[in-house]
């Protein structure tokens, strides 16, 4: 499999992971694991959903090709079988084991070190370690499926599809994962805000963060950098007399902007003409050197 096909396939696998983890996941399996253990409904549902969506994304072009030409199904059956084994069975089993074992391991380590920590901070640590583990699983699936000959692309070639996936992934990353990162940074000051007498709308801050990060990435992708300055200026118009709350909002805003700008700049570099080609050429030189 050519490197461009491999990159396009990995982006599909990674997109499936993001959708399962941040869009379809109803609750963290660790929340009910203490009660139901390995019989947790959330844990089994999440593992099954992860395997199913990874299977669908990994075999996306095969499915479209068969729908267009049903007579091609017999020739693609061996490929479907490999995708089922590696993308569905392997990924579902990996999600079940990782999400079932990891929370207990982290909790046990914390207890052995006698460290009383904020449950939210521990949940973020579990997520970060789990993210690294799931990413390693995706690389293994990529290696297992790489020998497969990809089905013809229905919408252009692999480079065009890579650009589309990068844009979709960029918007997904600045939403929930970006919000989690911002929350982890400002969490230590949240108790001071909770004790404040001034109330706000429920989840309004989170929604504002979603909107501003999506707008920033959009402005970068359409080369409207001036609009980012207007967005920052517009948010700076709001003044709060409470010094603590004002600093809390400023820190959160700067973190939110920084995440959106970094992700947007990376996505913009890759989707602009020549960006993907340069990146692929760099990978080829790196592989040849090794």
pLDDT in tens, the chain (290 residues): 688 899 999 999 999 999 998 888 654 444 444 455 566 778 888 899 999 999 999 999 888 888 888 888 888 888 889 999 999 999 999 988 888 877 666 556 555 555 555 555 556 666 778 889 999 999 999 999 887 777 778 777 888 899 999 999 999 999 877 777 777 666 666 665 555 545 554 466 778 788 888 989 999 988 888 888 888 777 666 655 556 666 667 777 788 888 899 999 999 999 988 888 888 888 888 877 76
**241 to 49, 193, 194, 206, 244: CA distances (angstroms):** 47, 13, 16, 21, 9
Contact status, residue 86 vs residue 146, Cβ threshold 8 Å: no
Q: Who's near 190: CB < 8 A, 6+ residues apart? A: none
Residue of 216, 230, 47 lying closest to 130 (CA atoms): 47
pTM, 2 dp? 0.82
* Spatial distance between the Cα atoms of 30 and 67, rounded to a whole number of angstroms: 39
> In the prediction, which pLDDT does 177 show?
78
**pLDDT score, position 123:** 61
Helix, strand and coil content of the chain, in percent to the nearest 5, comes to: 80, 0, 20
């Amino acid at each position: 499999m050519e490197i461009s096909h491999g990159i396009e396939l990995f982006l599909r696998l990674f997109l499936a992971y993001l959708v399962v983890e941040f869009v379809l996941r109803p609750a963290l399996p660790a929340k009910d694991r203490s009660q139901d253990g390995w019989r947790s409904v959330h844990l089994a549902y999440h593992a099954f959903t992860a395997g199913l969506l990874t299977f669908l994304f990994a075999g996306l072009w095969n499915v479209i090709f068969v729908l267009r030409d049903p007579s091609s199904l017999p020739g693609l059956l061996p490929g479907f079988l490999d995708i089922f084994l590696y993308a569905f069975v392997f990924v579902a089993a990996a999600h079940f084991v990782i999400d079932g074992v990891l929370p207990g391991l982290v909790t046990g380590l914390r207890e052995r070190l006698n460290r009383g920590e904020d449950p939210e901070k521990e949940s973020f640590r579990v997520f970060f370690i789990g993210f690294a583990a799931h990413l390693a699983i995706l690389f293994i699936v990529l290696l297992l499926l790489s020998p497969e000959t990809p089905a013809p692309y229905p919408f252009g070639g692999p480079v065009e599809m890579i650009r589309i996936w990068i844009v979709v992934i960029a918007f997904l990353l600045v939403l929930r994962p970006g919000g989690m990162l911002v929350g982890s940074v400002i969490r230590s000051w949240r108790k001071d805000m909770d004790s404040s007498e001034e109330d706000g709308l429920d989840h309004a801050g989170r929604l504002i963060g979603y909107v501003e990060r999506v707008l920033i990435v959009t402005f970068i992708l359409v080369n409207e950098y001036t609009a980012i300055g207007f967005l920052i200026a517009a948010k700076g118009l709001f003044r709060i007399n409470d010094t603590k709350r004002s600093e809390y909002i400023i820190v959160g805003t700067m973190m939110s902007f920084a995440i959106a700008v970094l992700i947007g700049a990376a996505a913009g570099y890759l989707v602009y003409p020549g960006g993907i080609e340069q990146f692929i050429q760099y990978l080829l030189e790196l592989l040849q050197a090794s």
